[in-house]
Amino acid sequence: MVDLDQDQTALPTATNMFTKKNDLLSAAMKRTSEWIFSQEISSDVTVNAGGTSFSLHKFPLVSKCGYIRKIVSESTDTDLAAIEIPDIPGGAEAFELAAKFCYGINFEISTENIAMLRCVAEYLEMTEDYAVGNLVGRTEKYVHEVALKSLAGAVSILHSSENLLPLAEKVKLVSRCIDMIAFVACKDSQFGAPGRAESGRNDLISPKSSMSNAKSVVDWWAEDLTVLRIDFFQRVLIAMMARGFKQYALGPILTLYAQKSLRGLEIFGKGRKKIEAREEHEKRVVLETIAHPALSDMERKKVCSVMDCQKLSREACAHAAQNDRLPVQTVVQVLYYEQQRLREVMDSSLNDSSSLPTKAKQFSIDIHPVPDELSTLRKENQDLKLELVKMKMRLKEIAKSDDPKASIGSPSGPRLSFDKPPLPRKSFISSVSKTLGRFIRADGIVPQSAKRRNKPGKDRRHSIS
Domains and CATH numbers, the chain: 45-145 (3.30.710.10), 176-193+214-349 (no CATH)
Is a pLDDT exceeding 50 seen at residue 39? Answer: no
| Contacts of 137 by beta carbon, 8 Å cutoff, 6+ apart | 127, 128
Mean residue pLDDT across the chain = 70
Q: Which residue has the higher pLDDT, 208 or 6?
A: 208
What pLDDT score does 154 carry?
Answer: 93
Residues 6+ apart with CB under 8 A from 184: 151, 154, 221
More confident residue, 340 or 419: 340
Rounded Cα–Cα distance for residues 68 and 47 (Å) = 10
Give yes or no for residue 97 having a pLDDT over 90: yes
- For the chain, report the end-to-end CA distance as a whole number of angstroms: 197
Tens digits of per-residue pLDDT, 336-350?
777 777 777 777 766
The pLDDT of residue 167: 93
How many Cα atoms sit within 13 Å of 415 on the Cβ side? 8
Q: Which residue has the higher pLDDT, 435 or 164?
A: 164
Judged by average pLDDT, the poorest of 5-9, 86-90, 313-317 is: 5-9
Cα dihedral 306/310/312/314 (nearest 10): 150
What's the CA gap between 346 and 276, in Å, rounded? 34
CA distance 293 to 372: 55
| pTM over the 0.75 mark | no
> If you average pLDDT over residues 308-335, what whole number do you get?
77
256 has pLDDT over 90: no
Percentage of residues of the chain with pLDDT beyond 90: 20
Question: Out of 29-43, 142-156, 259-273, which region has the weakest mean confidence (pLDDT)?
Answer: 29-43
Residue 280 scores a pLDDT above 80: no
Residue 404: per-residue pLDDT: 55
Q: What is the CA radius of gyration of the chain?
A: 50
Closest by alpha carbon to 259, among 204, 203, 306, 225?
A: 306
d(CA 77, CA 80): 5
CA distances from 14 to 19, 174, 370, 406 (A): 9, 52, 111, 163
